[in-house]
Every structure is written in C-alpha cells, then in structure tokens.
A = this chain, B = another copy of it.
Amino acid sequence: MKEFKVSFDVTDKSVSVPSGTLLLDAARLAGIGINQPCGGQGRCGRCAVQILDGAVRRRSTLRLTAEDVALGYALACQTIVEGDVQVHVPLQEKIERRLTTDLTVADVTVPASYQFDTDQTIRRVSLTLSEPNMDDQTDDLSRFLTAIRQQAGFAQVSVSLGLLRKLGGVLREGQWTVTAILDTGFAEGETSKTARLIDILPGTVPEAEPIWGAAIDIGTTTVTVWLADLVTGKVHAQASEYNGQIVRGEDVISRIVYLGKNGNGDELKLLVLETINNLLESVCRQAGGSAKPERIVKASIAGNSTMIHLLLGIPAASIRLSPFVTAVNQAPLLSAQEVGIDIHPEATIDCLPGVASYVGSDITAGVHASGMDLSPTLTLFMDVGTNGEIVLGSNEWLVACACSAGPAFEGAGVVSGMRATQGAIEEVWINGKDYEPSYRVIGSVNPAGICGSGLISLLAEMFMTGIIDKAGNLNMHLNTPRIREGGQGPEYVVAWAEQTKTGRDIAITHVDIDNLLRTKGAIYAGYSVLAESVGVSLEMIEQMLIGGSFGKYINVEKAIQIGLLPDLAWDHFKFLGNTSVLGAYYALLGRKSRESITEIASKMTYIELSADNRFYEAFMSALFLPHTDLSKFPSVNEALEGQ
C-alpha cells in the first residue's frame, strides 16, 4: 500500500502512514494528542484540524460549516489521508482545574453513631508473641495466627504471599510485639471470626493514631476523593479533578465506543487510575502528618457501571448494546495492587454495588446518602451529571431508571458550551424589551462560553421573553441584531466578540437549542414515566432531591420554566451536591451503611426506558417549552399569562 507523509505544525516530527489512515491515528503516531470528547464518533466536532496542504477525504463534516470546510477544516476522527498532507493542529482545550469543590472538610459531619470498634470493618490489634526457642520451634506464621486467635479472637486469618514475605522480618524487628491491621469483611457482621491481614507493623501503635481510608467517586466528568481517619471517622482532606478519560469521550457511550475502536486496551483504565492516584497523593499532602498513600488501607468506590468496569479493566461493550447488560454489578472485594491504585498494596478496594448498566453505585450510594431509603416521604431523587439517573420511592420501595440525557448541560453538543470553570457564563438575564442580555461569569472575567446552569438560565429567559417559541424556534422578526442567521443556521448572540475571552461571538444556535430540548425532554420523560409506571402522579411527590455537583447551581425557577424540573413548590427541592462520594464515605466508615447500600441495590427495581413506548411518547411531548401540555406546568402558565 502506498505510504504518505503527514506533517503537523506543532511538532518537527512527520510520520509516514499508509493511504487511508485516519488523521487522528497519524497524529497519535506523531505523538500529538487530539481531544475526542465524543470518543471518535464524529459527533462533537472538537477534533477539527486544518489541512494546510495535501489530499484528504472527509467521511463526515458534521459540526463543520461550509465555510470551515472551505478553510480546510476537517474532523481528525473522520478524515483519511490520500496524499502527503500538512496539518495545522489548533490549540487543544485545556481541561482546567475545577474552581468549586463540594462540601468542604468542615461541612462533613461524622455520623453521630460512628464507633470505630463496632462499625468499622478494619481492625487494628496489638499482639505480643512468645519468642521461639529450641523447645518451641513453631513457624512464624503459626505463632502469629495463634496470637491473633488468642489475643484478638480471630479464628481464621488469611495472609497473602506478600505479607508472608515480610512477616518474619517484622516479628523480629518488633521483638515479637507487633500490630496487625485486618479487614474483617463487611458480609460477616460484627461477630465475624474470619479476617484478611492487610498489614503487620513492628511494635505497638498508639490507639489514637489515624488509620487512613479513602472514599472515591468516579464520575464520568469528575473524580472526587475524600481522605478519612477510620478511627475518628473524620474527613481530613478532599480533592476533585477531571476524569483523565475525558479526552477519550465526554460520556460513557463515547468512551465505550473509543475503547472498541482502539483494541480494548488498558488506556482508559490507566487514565482514570492516574487521576485517582494523583488525587490520593493530593489529599495526603493536604492532610499531612502520617497521611501517605501507602498508609491508606481501605477505599470505597462509587461510580456509574461503565466507570467501574473501565476502572477494573472489565470489558464494557455489553453495557452499550441491547439488552444493555453489565459484566458485574457487584464486584468482589479486591486488593489495591490488583486494581492498580497506589495505596497500601493489600488495601481493600470495595467497589459499591450497582443495579444495572445505567444505574450504578453512584446512585445506590447517593440514595443512601440522601436518606430517602430510610424515610417514609415519597421522594424523587435525581442525579443529573453526565448521565441522568432517577430514583423514585421511599423506605418501602425504590424504582429507578436512566435516561440517556447526554452531556448537553455539561457543555458538550453545544457550540459555545463549556464546563463550569473560569470564564463560563453561569446565569443569564434577558431584557424583555430590547432582548439585551446580562450575565454572570465564573471568576468575573470575560466569558469564554456557557456552562450548564447558564444554558438553563439562557433557555428560560429566551423562552419567557419570546426570543424562542415553545418549540425552540428563534423569532427572526424581533428587532435585535443579536438574532441572526449564522454558519449553522439561526442563532442568538449572548456576548459580542469584543467582550469575550476568545475574541469570537458567543452564540446559541438553533441546533444547540434542539440538543438542550432533547436533553431536558429525556429527563422529564424519564421521571414522569417512572412515576407513571408505579402509579404515582408527579404532584404526589413530597420531596425532590437533586444530587450531582451540577444541581447545586441550578436556578429552580428557570429549570421549571424550561420543563426540566417538575412544577412543584420550590421548598420541595433540595440540592444535595455530590451524594455519590458522601455515600461512599458512609460505606467506608460503617458496616451498616455498607449493608444499606447492598440492600438498596437489591431492592431497587430498574425500569428500562429504551424498551418502553411510553417513554418515547413522553419524550416527544416534552420537546417543547415547558411541555406540550401546559397544564403540567401551572406556575409557568401563570407567569406567561401574567406577562
């Protein structure tokens, strides 16, 4: 096959590739990373590069305007080499550190009932062994096991090969006085007499000396780690960071697609491990003192099913394909070295149990953290992160569904969309007379784009001021230069180029609006069909709990105006922040919390919406602002009539 030379303006290295090679692969060969938020499906348009010279063939130009194509732009994931090519690679979007964190360390309350000695699965015991002599040549392991049985009551303790290798040295270094750290396992209950040895240390350790544990939430977008002292239960440090997998797809589907296209290797596993390991180092640095990654002996992990599969290197392809089955909802307890998390190699890794492909342990942990499983109040729990999961129920029953909402509210699929970082427009007000907007920007700098809460706010304002109609169509007849025909059709300009960080107009296009309507429509259809399927009408819902960091910044009024949230009294809504990491933290601490999450997972009935005709109908009806049936949104109706 003929080979062609591909050179890039960002590196001196040019590569020689066979005809038909994807530009993306040529770039990778040259050591250039090109972000692929959609995982290489040609959907997001973020991998666009500019062909300066040479022959290529574009399989798809979705998300490129005719003008872009005329300028030579091409999607790296959809364009193949057909001759020697010179390529300009635009500056790749840097994923900036999240500005806002969730609950601060001081905000996290240790559960009042927490008792290290009874609730915690980790035990620390000091042992004094008899010294061997010529009349007692018992082997080290038997001597140790006898001491732990007699002095700590564990009849059966499993010891790994790694610990067997260090046992003799530690016994002698401690002059036959040692401290053992054990995991008694959550399944057995408090009376357990079996345990797994995690570590053995020479000498005794003061009782108040912390035993470190980590609660980890692996979100599709953000990974959060809390470092806690298992003795007191207190959280000592927290850190969040974008999930390193983002460059390989913004949503779970994109990542599964990416993995399939790239030989199902370890890349995504290694990316999220790198993120987790960096965060663990960071929380230990923050906490100081004895906190070091290698001294963390237990980690509880929550995440959606895809995130858990990718973390463990378990193929996730079946999650994406009908009938949407996971390989495992409840992973066995693993050790840190098996998983690749850089804490104590024998540390227990407890991936909390999920329910289905699209209802993972982020939801079971979240439900536990929200307390809805213990309350008689009829509650709708919603976690709108990169995916949208919804749980309805009370202490008596729980039903759940997932809607492939798409990450539109996280800025993907929207031309000017961005994440909630510095420079993002997070709230918009539009003057009903001249259609001039005002807005608030995170970090009070010139805006670079619009984040989720900004998009909800913008959509609501455009609707309430008549810039768009209930179908989302822009009114081209209004007397304002902000509404215009752009490269991708009709659009409304939120910020003019001279006021923006990028030097380009920030606008919302008709296509963007369609994407946003589909997302909010899917979420509305999700919870309304879920409620209907158990004979509950939305008005009956007594409280609505919203998890996920996204929720915190939503303006309830505006979210109701666009039909994203149901039309309930405002005091019915509670924003809980990151319930997933909070649930993981509870599970890290307490045997009972851990059991509750298992119970939630086993009693939660999953309803598959994609097989449900009612969902499709509800979705179609919800593609309007706020809804085809205005009687479902009486407060919005009233506001519109009041104008």
B-contacting residues of A (Cβ < 8 Å)? Answer: 132-134, 136-142, 158-159, 161, 164-165, 167-169, 172, 312-315, 317-318, 322-332, 334, 338-339, 356-357, 606, 608, 611
Contact = CB atoms under 8 A, between A and B. Distances in A.
Given A137-B356, A315-B169, A132 B325 contact: yes
Contacts of A323: 132-134, 136-137
Contacts of A140: 318, 325-328
Given A140-B325, A140-B327, A608 B159 contact: no
A41 to B, nearest CB: 22
A165 B134 contact: no
Given A164-B312, A315-B165, A315-B169, A328 B134 contact: no
B158 A332 contact: yes
Given A134-B611, A137-B324, A168-B315, 13 more contacts: A132-B323, A134-B323, A139-B328, A140-B318, A140-B325, A140-B328, A158-B332, A159-B332, A164-B327, A165-B312, A165-B313, A165-B314, A168-B317
A161 B325 contact: no
B331 A164 contact: yes
A327 B134 contact: no
Contacts of A172: 318
Contacts of A334: 161
A312 B137 CA distance: 21
Contacts of A142: 328-330
Contacts of A329: 139, 141-142
8 contacts: A132-B325, A134-B323, A137-B357, A142-B329, A161-B312, A164-B314, A165-B312, A167-B328
Nearest to A329: B139
Q: Give the 8 A-B residue pairs with the shortest CB-CB distance, closest first.
A: A141-B328, A168-B327, A139-B326, A139-B329, A134-B611, A132-B325, A140-B327, A134-B323
Given A134-B608, A322-B134, A327 B161 contact: no
A64 to B, nearest CB: 36
A172 B321 CA distance: 13
Contacts of A168: 314-315, 317-318, 327
Contacts of A164: 312, 314, 327-328, 331-332
A137 B325 contact: yes
Nearest to A322: B134
A479 B314 CA distance: 83
A335 B195 CA distance: 20
Q: Which of A328, A331, A332, A334 is most buried by chain B, counting CB atoms within 10 A of its CB?
A: A328
Nearest to A325: B132
Nearest to A356: B137
Contacts of A324: 134, 137
A326 B134 CA distance: 13
A290 to B, nearest CB: 27
Nearest to A606: B137
A327 B139 contact: yes
Contact of A167 (B139, B327, B338): B327
A317 B172 CA distance: 12
A356 B324 CA distance: 56
Nearest to A142: B329
Contacts of A332: 158-159, 161, 164
Nearest to A326: B139
A141 B327 CA distance: 6
Nearest to A357: B137
A334 B334 CA distance: 16
B325 A139 contact: yes
A142 B331 CA distance: 10
A326 B144 CA distance: 12
Contacts of A138: 325
Contacts of A325: 132, 137-140
B167 A608 contact: no
Contact of A137 (B158, B317, B330, B608): B608
A165 B313 CA distance: 7
A608 B136 CA distance: 10
Contacts of A169: 315
Nearest to A313: B165
Nearest to A334: B161
A313 B136 CA distance: 24
Nearest to A161: B338
Q: Which of A141, A161, A332 is most buried by chain B, counting CB atoms within 10 A of its CB?
A: A161
Contacts of A315: 165, 168-169
A263 to B, nearest CB: 14
Nearest to A612: B134
A139 to B, nearest CB: 4
Nearest to A138: B325
A356 B312 CA distance: 41
A182 to B, nearest CB: 15
Nearest to A349: B161
Nearest to A141: B328
Contacts of A136: 323
Contacts of A338: 161
A534 B552 CA distance: 81
Nearest to A159: B332
A613 to B, nearest CB: 12
B161 A339 contact: yes
A326 to B, nearest CB: 4
Contacts of A137: 323-325, 356-357, 606, 608
A168 B318 CA distance: 8
A141 to B, nearest CB: 4
A235 to B, nearest CB: 29
Contacts of A608: 134, 137
A168 to B, nearest CB: 4
Contacts of A159: 332
A339 B160 CA distance: 11
